[in-house]
Structure 1
Amino acid sequence: MSAPGGDETGGITVGPLEFADAHACAALERLLFAGESPWPAAAFAEELRAPHTRFFAARRSSPQHPRPWLVGYAGIALLGGAEPESEVHTIAVDPKVQGRGVGRRLLALLLAEADAHGGPVFLDVRTDNAPAIALYRSEGFENVGLRPRYYQPSGADAYVMCRAAGAGAGEKKENAR
């Protein structure tokens, strides 16, 4: 894999999420998470203002549409003081570009932030989201719990997954043998 900001996905670049992206994020939320209380634009703006969060955007451009548009976003909270930990808040990718490595690139940016912060990384994922679970496992996450009826209003269950502190790329390669 190239550097997290590299472009191997057909005109898609990744970088910091901006306040101007909040409405596009909310629109993508409504598309992807309609049955799960999607975040409104105000929630994204609030998250971007928080000093302990980092959010990234994936944008696509083309010769026909030179102004890049949002096709994905991801956010993480960097928590704790003496005992740091991080929590992935969200990763979302437009269905039109899913399967092209955009989610993996966004996750790589989140994990780089978490590794610099230190401590384990936690996330919640729907138990029926096999592609996301496979992505997280490939990056060193393991199931550590279950949250019954976590997602509302659908009542879908969520796995709690954790990647141990220090489980960066070097350790993942060792564990893969």
Structure 2
Amino acid sequence: MAWQLRVAGSHDLAPIMAIESSTFGTDAWTDSAMRADLGNRHTYYLVAFHPETPDLIEGYAGLLSPVGSGEGDIQTIAVAESARRQGLGRMLMQALIAEARARRATALFLEVRADNPTAQQLYVSLGFEEIAVRPKYYQPDGVDARIMRLSIAEPRLSPAVGA
């Protein structure tokens, strides 16, 4: 079964927060913070679902990237437990990278928990590199954040075969 992505809105707050709180526990965003981000004109949020069950959100991701700023920040990304390890996180990240490029960003940043090697491996496989550490960033757990950056190259066009 393949997923579809669509732009998220405030009507998606409840399913997003269900995944957010079950995934991040003590680090979860509040309803009001997520609502504000969903309504921010500089953010771009996606939700993922199967076409057969469009009301069942299985993942979401958000990007903050004001058009023309040259930079973007992955605000959050999470996949429901039942949909993990099936490529949905990669699909969401690739969609956000494409949107950042469309907004003319040349650098994309994110923070990831130092104790989350699965997420770190995904980000490295997408071309992100670790550039710094924020000690004890995630509270109340006191876990370090690894700051990662992706340099977004301009898309290159090649001549058509046989041209």
Residues 1:67 and 1:51: Cα distance change in structure 2 (over 3 Å): closer
Q: For residues 135 and 20 of structure 2, what CA distance do their matches in structure 1 show?
A: 22
Q: 2:84 aligns with which of 98, 123, 130?
A: 98
Q: For residues 57 and 39 of structure 1, what CA distance do their matches in structure 2 show?
A: 16
Q: For residues 127 and 167 of structure 1, what CA distance do their matches in structure 2 show?
A: 30
Contact 1:149 1:155 in 2 (8 A): yes
Match in the other structure for 1:19: 10
Displacement of 1:79 in angstroms is: 3.8
Q: For residues 168 and 90 of structure 1, what CA distance do their matches in structure 2 show?
A: 25
Match in the other structure for 1:41: 31
Residues 1:107 and 1:11: Cα distance change in structure 2 (over 3 Å): same
Match in the other structure for 1:84: 70
Displacement of 1:80 in angstroms is: 7.3
Match in the other structure for 1:173: none
Unaligned residue ranges in structure 1 (runs of 5+): 1-9, 171-177
The answer to whether residue 54 in structure 2 is matched with residue 71 in structure 1 is no
Match in the other structure for 1:161: 148
Q: For residues 101 and 125 of structure 1, what CA distance do their matches in structure 2 show?
A: 18
Match in the other structure for 2:97: 111
**Identical residues among aligned pairs (%):** 33
Contact 1:79 1:86 in 2 (8 A): yes
Displacement of 1:28 in angstroms is: 1.1
Contact 1:151 1:157 in 2 (8 A): yes
- TM-score, normalised relative to structure 2: 0.87
Residues 1:67 and 1:137: Cα distance change in structure 2 (over 3 Å): closer
Residues 1:88 and 1:99: Cα distance change in structure 2 (over 3 Å): same
